[in-house]
Amino acid sequence: MTIPTDLTRDDALRILREEVATLVALPGEPGYERCVPWNVAAPVTPAAVVLATSAEDVAGTVRFAAAHGFTVTVQATGHGAVGVGADTILVLTAAMKHCEVDSLNRTARVGAGARWQDVIDVAAPHGLAPLCGSSPGVGVVGFLTGGGIGPLVRTVGLSSDYVRAFDVVTGEGRLLRATPDENADLFWGLRGGKATLGIVTAVEIDLPPIPEFYGGAVYFDGADTAAVLHAWRSWSVELPETVNTSIAVQQLPPLSGVPEPLAGRMTVAVRYTAVGDFAEAERLLAPMRAVATPVMDTVGVLPYAAIGAVHADPVDPMPTNEDQALLSELPAEAVDALLAVAGPGSGSPQVIVDLRLLGGALVREPQHRSAFCHRDAAFSLAVIGAPTPENAAMVAEHARAVTGAVAPWATGGQMPNFAPSYDPARPARAYAPDTLHWLAALADRYDPSRVLATGQVVRT
Ligand SMILES: Cc1cc2nc3c(=O)[nH]c(=O)nc-3n(C[C@H](O)[C@H](O)[C@H](O)COP(=O)(O)OP(=O)(O)OC[C@H]3O[C@@H](n4cnc5c(N)ncnc54)[C@H](O)[C@@H]3O)c2cc1C
């Protein structure tokens, strides 16, 4: 591409339209509105939106940005959006949602814009399980590049350990393949390093055979929060790794899709999934079911396609504020500290305060190491609020108070997928110092002009 150097910014962006064979929308033009993220609270106002339909569109955009002093960032669904400013071109991958399943070899090749639901729709009829997170509406690539912990994490381990290959456009606009044997440094870094090392255009994953599971959620009234949370604490740590559980103190708004018994009040959800012996799984759950009188109980044998029903996360776009802490232990004092700040009578404004039991297969390093850290955390605490412009500061401050309440038991770490932020201290919490060092060194190698140095990426 030969581009004159004396162009105005807008003229340059019009040339971009000629250089990539897809829709390029500038502010105010049709298509620009597609950059509004799922987390509508994130201020996403890029210089231009490129609705990529191919790896060539992505590579062409990156090369154009390098030539014209723009940075580039990527969005699939906006579930993990951080703000995007006016010097940045946003590559929207949402249209690259192809998904091919090879049921014989139990693998899938998935485009960068696919959501987990797209893969589940094709794989689950073969009895195969795409290892999504709690919400199948989340993007496959954004989830996997952050490691990815799902409702079966203790049984199957980290979802990104099931990645076989990435196709990725580097900061130099080159399309590379990353596997354990080809560009192995990228393969290491892309599993955990988010968008630090490039824009992934397709991913290939293994699909374990899990046609069905025993699971769902048992919901209790908010008045029973203390009893349920304390009982869950001592019950959960005895569970075998075929069983997974999390517990959430919820204050769901009375919106369509929220079941009547859960809407507009505090409830406690004990989520449960198990594979293998379903009768044994039912027996293990019995003591938890008996702690108080459930207001709703959805646990039973379900097809894998129903995995999203376990957490029943919100589907429609909403404003979100997140915080996360990883815990090395959960003594009774930690539960009391949580109850004081997020339980009944605390005045908590949070929609979901979620504790997940980790451990099991997550702890074991995979055959091919990755940039994901903190495998040894015992629990993840996630705090999710739905701020309005008026209460945004208060919701964020309260979320910090919730994670602060368990600080004595926290590891100090966070997972790359949770609580996305521009905060430069954020990567230091997501990665061990040597991992940070190598991610930054690889970013210098694959993006020497810092074209991708935008959003939540590791750079020094
Ligand atoms: C309701 C909800 C439930 C969730 N549940 C879980 C869960 O159970 N487990 C878990 O681990 N996480 C979970 N998450 C976090 C989620 O995995 C991250 O927010 C993830 O980044 C979302 O990816 P996305 O593509 O949907 O979002 P986007 O906002 O589109 O992307 C987020 C980030 O992912 C990276 N990314 C996206 N596409 C590419 C690409 N093509 N190449 C390189 N980098 C890319 C970029 O850094 C981008 O900024 C949840 C989030 C929400 C909102």
Q: Total domain count for the chain?
A: 3
Please give the average per-residue pLDDT across 12-34, as a whole number: 91
Q: How far is the CA of 39 from the centre of ligand 1 (A)?
A: 11
Does the beta carbon of 194 lie inside 6 Å of ligand 1?
yes
- CATH number for the domain that contains residue 26: 3.30.43.10
Report residue 12's pLDDT band, with 50, 70 and 90 as the boundaries.
confident
Q: Same structural domain for residues 308 and 238?
A: yes
Q: How far is the CA of 411 from the centre of ligand 1 (A)?
A: 23
Neighbouring CB atoms inside 10 A of 391's CB total 15
Q: How far is the CA of 203 from the centre of ligand 1 (A)?
A: 14
Please give the average per-residue pLDDT across 214-225, as a whole number: 98
> Angle, to 10 degrees, between the axis of helix 9-19 and the axis of helix 55-68?
150
Does the beta carbon of 149 lie inside 6 Å of ligand 1?
yes
Q: Same structural domain for residues 349 and 314?
A: yes
Residue nearest (by alpha carbon) to ligand 1 atom 38:
142
Q: Same structural domain for residues 216 and 199?
A: no
With b for 16 or more beta-carbon neighbours within 10 A and e for fewer, the 208-237 pattern comes to bebebbbbbbbbbbbebbeebbebbbebbe
Does the beta carbon of 156 lie inside 6 Å of ligand 1?
no
- CATH number for the domain that contains residue 304: 3.40.462.20
Q: How far is the CA of 382 from the centre of ligand 1 (A)?
A: 15
Q: Same structural domain for residues 133 and 267?
A: no
pLDDT of amino acid 6: 58
pLDDT of amino acid 7: 67
Q: Same structural domain for residues 201 and 281?
A: no
Q: Quick one: CA torsion of 339, 345, 346, 351, rounded to 10 degrees?
A: 90
Q: Same structural domain for residues 169 and 274?
A: no
On whether residue 275 sits in a domain, the answer given is yes
pLDDT of amino acid 197: 97
Q: Is 431 left (phi over 0), alpha (psi -120 to 50) or beta?
A: beta
Report residue 218's pLDDT band, with 50, 70 and 90 as the boundaries.
very high
pLDDT of amino acid 1: 43
- 280 pLDDT higher than 60: yes
pLDDT in tens, 251-279: 999 887 899 999 999 999 999 999 999 99
- 150 pLDDT higher than 60: yes
pLDDT of amino acid 377: 98
Report residue 14's pLDDT band, with 50, 70 and 90 as the boundaries.
confident
Please give the average per-residue pLDDT across 99-127, as a whole number: 98
- pLDDT cut 70: percent of the chain above it: 98
Please give the average per-residue pLDDT across 340-357, as a whole number: 98
Please give the average per-residue pLDDT across 143-157, as a whole number: 98
> 3-state DSSP helix/strand/coil percent for the chain, to nearest 5?
30, 25, 45
Token digits of residue 406: 């368990």
Report residue 10's pLDDT band, with 50, 70 and 90 as the boundaries.
confident
Instruction: Give me the domain span that covers residue 63.
Output: 9-92
**Mean pLDDT, the chain, as a whole number?**
96
For residue 235, give the DSSP letter.
H
On whether residue 418 sits in a domain, the answer given is no
Q: How far is the CA of 139 from the centre of ligand 1 (A)?
A: 6
Q: Which atom of ligand 1 is nearest to the CA of 148?
A: 11
Residue nearest (by alpha carbon) to ligand 1 atom 41:
200
Does the beta carbon of 139 lie inside 6 Å of ligand 1?
yes
Q: Same structural domain for residues 108 and 76?
A: no
The domain boundary residue, chosen from 29, 58, 92? 92
Select from 132, 138, 156 the residue to mutate for testing ligand 1; criterion: most ligand atoms less than 8 Å from CB.
Answer: 138
Q: Same structural domain for residues 73 and 111?
A: no
On whether residue 81 sits in a domain, the answer given is yes
Range in 190-204, 304-318, 421-435 the model is least confident about: 421-435
Residues ≥6 apart with Cβ < 8 Å to 32:
25, 26, 48, 49
Does the beta carbon of 430 lie inside 6 Å of ligand 1?
no
- 170 pLDDT higher than 90: yes
> What is the rounded distance in angstroms from the CA atom of residue 215 to the CA atom of residue 152?
10
What residues pair up with 102 in beta bridges, in sequence order?
107
Residue nearest (by alpha carbon) to ligand 1 atom 35:
142
Report residue 337's pLDDT band, with 50, 70 and 90 as the boundaries.
very high
Does the beta carbon of 417 lie inside 6 Å of ligand 1?
yes
pLDDT in tens, 48-57: 999 999 999 9
- 243 pLDDT higher than 70: yes
pLDDT of amino acid 3: 47
Does the beta carbon of 146 lie inside 6 Å of ligand 1?
yes
> What is the rounded distance in angstroms from the CA atom of residue 134 to the CA atom of residue 97?
20
- CATH number for the domain that contains residue 204: 3.30.465.10
Does the beta carbon of 75 lie inside 6 Å of ligand 1?
yes
Q: Same structural domain for residues 178 and 263?
A: no
Q: Same structural domain for residues 355 and 389?
A: yes
- 148 pLDDT higher than 60: yes
Residues ≥6 apart with Cβ < 8 Å to 120:
130, 132, 136, 304, 305, 307
Give the length of the chain.
Answer: 460
The domain boundary residue, chosen from 23, 58, 92? 92
The domain boundary residue, chosen from 364, 390, 409? 409
Please give the average per-residue pLDDT across 319-327, as a whole number: 97
